[in-house]
Amino acid sequence: ETGVTQSPTHLIKTRGQQVTLRCSSQSGHNTVSWYQQALGQGPQFIFQYYREEENGRGNFPPRFSGLQFPNYSSELNVNALELDDSALYLCASSPSGDRASETQYFGPGTRLLVL
Amino acid sequence: GNSVTQMEGPVTLSEEAFLTINCTYTATGYPSLFWYVQYPGEGLQLLLKATKADDKGSNKGFEATYRKETTSFHLEKGSVQVSDSAVYFCALSDRDNQGGKLIFGQGTELSVKP
């Protein structure tokens, strides 16, 4: 069974640029959530996708957007990058997305540095 | 709003010492509670969870009991090893039927010395 994978592992961008991060969910999972983890902090929920529809959003501006594809993989897009966007971006998948008790399985993350 | 508060780190212990990391939460309804662990340079791994009051989650010698009366979910281990050095995150999830977004505490760094 393949776990959650993310690409790229590291990325360096400059202020104002756009970035796309990718996530492949664990086999059999149809729900993907994205989190931002600033250095020394706990992860913050960005949004969740369930069967290709956004299914909840945290307190992030509209320049953070996402997609989920029919194979349940997902992208996180960030436009007009700011220095504070520098963080570890974590993707997590879960089997069905309809239970708060479900475990979310995390990928290794993409570390984004904005200069 | 819902929130999770963890004891501040870093926590430094000698090998075989007893570990407690405190976690308290604020939530409406009946959340599920989780402990995740993050090793250096890696993503988060589920350590244990509990989904209702008085449940005890356990894994790899770690335990935590869901205490509704004190809104707590403290992590304990009887004898820590150097390999337990990591950052530990307490989290809650409370949204049935809309997916469970996880709300995390700020993390507690544990360092175990030989």
Instruction: Identify any residues that bridge with B62 across adjacent strands, giving them in sequence order.
Output: B59, B77
Q: Which residues of A87-103 are buried (b: 16+ CB within 10 A; e: fewer)?
A: bbbbbbbbbebbbbbbb
Instruction: Reply yes or no on whether the pLDDT at B68 is more than 80.
Output: yes
For residue B7, count CB atoms less than 10 angstroms from its CB and return exposed for 0-12, middle for 13-18, buried for 19 or more.
middle
Residues B59 and B68: their CA atoms lie apart, in Å, by: 21
pLDDT of residue B94: 72
pLDDT of residue B9: 87
Instruction: Reply yes or no on whether the pLDDT at A62 is more than 80.
Output: yes
Q: Is B102 on the interface with A (CB under 8 A)?
A: yes
pLDDT of residue B50: 95
Is B100 in Cβ contact with A108 (below 8 Å)? no
Q: Is B7 on the interface with A (CB under 8 A)?
A: no
What mean pLDDT value characterizes chain A?
93
**Paired tokens of A111:** 């570390």
Q: What percent of chain A has pLDDT over 90?
A: 75
Instruction: Reply yes or no on whether the pLDDT at A6 is more than 90.
Output: yes
By C-alpha distance, the chain B residue nearest A43 is: B104
Residues 12-31 of B with CB under 8 A from A: 31
- Name the residue with higher pLDDT: B54 or A51: B54
pLDDT of residue B97: 44
Q: What's the maximum distance between 2 C-alpha atoms anywhere in chain B?
A: 46
Is A100 in Cβ contact with B93 (below 8 Å)? yes
pLDDT of residue A97: 64
Sign (positive or negative) of CA dihedral B61, B46, B101, A51: negative
Query: For residue B49, what are the CA distances in angstroms to A37, A103, B65?
Result: 21, 8, 9
- Looking at residue B24, its amino acid is T
Is A56 in Cβ contact with B101 (below 8 Å)? yes
Instruction: Reply yes or no on whether the pLDDT at A80 is more than 90.
Output: yes
Q: Is B98 on the interface with A (CB under 8 A)?
A: yes
Contacts of B44 in chain A (CB under 8 A): 43, 90, 92, 106
By C-alpha distance, the chain A residue nearest B48 is: A103
The alpha-carbon radius of gyration of chain B (Å, integer) is 14
- Name the residue with higher pLDDT: B98 or B109: B109
What mean pLDDT value characterizes chain B?
92
Q: What percent of chain B has pLDDT over 90?
A: 80
pLDDT of residue A20: 98
A vs B, Cβ pairs < 8 A, gives: 79
Chain A: closest CA distance from residue B54 (Å)? 15
Q: A57: how many CB neighbours lie within 10 A of its CB?
A: 14
Residues A92 and A37: their CA atoms lie apart, in Å, by: 13
Q: Which of A76-80, B10-14, B37-41, B98-102 has the lowest mean pLDDT?
A: B98-102
pLDDT of residue B96: 54
pLDDT band at B99 (very low <50, low <70, confident <90, very high): low
Query: How would you classify the pairing of strands A5-7 and B75-77?
Result: unpaired
Query: What's the rounded mean pLDDT across residues B29-37?
Result: 92
